[in-house]
Structure 1
Amino acid sequence: MYICICKNVTDGQIRNAVRDGRVRNMRGLRQELGACDQCGKCAMDACRVLRDSLQEKQHLTGNEPLAATG
């Protein structure tokens, strides 16, 4: 599903970026995938997918929780 239409970013791309360790927060999401830096309408959905992905990664690896903000 497309999360950021302006930059053509999908939820799968966000999940993969988190899983690969390329994205750990919203700043990283903007830098890595370009999401949320155009009109900003996707920010809440992108944050939700990012947060869920970080929680899933933490659950699977047993590591400390990662921050979804900033």
Structure 2
Amino acid sequence: MYICICNAVTDSQIKDALDDGATSVADLNKTLSVGSCCGKCTRSARAIIKQYRSAMEIDELSYSAM
């Protein structure tokens, strides 16, 4: 799904950037130009970052329980 219409950035591209080490909207702005035009996408981008972090925490907890 497109998150940043201005720059044609999808949620998959954002998730890939997070996998590659991005940790904030500022990082996404540097790599994908998210939020560089109208800025309406930043809320959705933050939600994806939050979901990503939660998923990573769950994965870490599951892994450490083994």
TM-score, normalised with respect to structure 2: 0.79
Structure 1 unaligned segments of length 5 or more: list them.
63-70
Question: Larger Cα Rg: Structure 1 or Structure 2?
Answer: 2
TM-score, normalised with respect to structure 1: 0.75
Identify the residue that residue 25 of structure 1 maps to in structure 2.
24
Q: Percent same amino acid at aligned positions?
A: 34
- Aligned residue pairs: how many? 61
Structure 2 unaligned segments of length 5 or more: list them.
62-66
Runs of 4+ deviating beyond 3 Å? none
The higher-RCO structure (CA 8 Å, 6+ apart) is 1
Q: Contact (CA 8 Å) 1:19, 1:57: kept in 2 or not? A: no
* Structure 1 or 2: more helix by fraction: 2
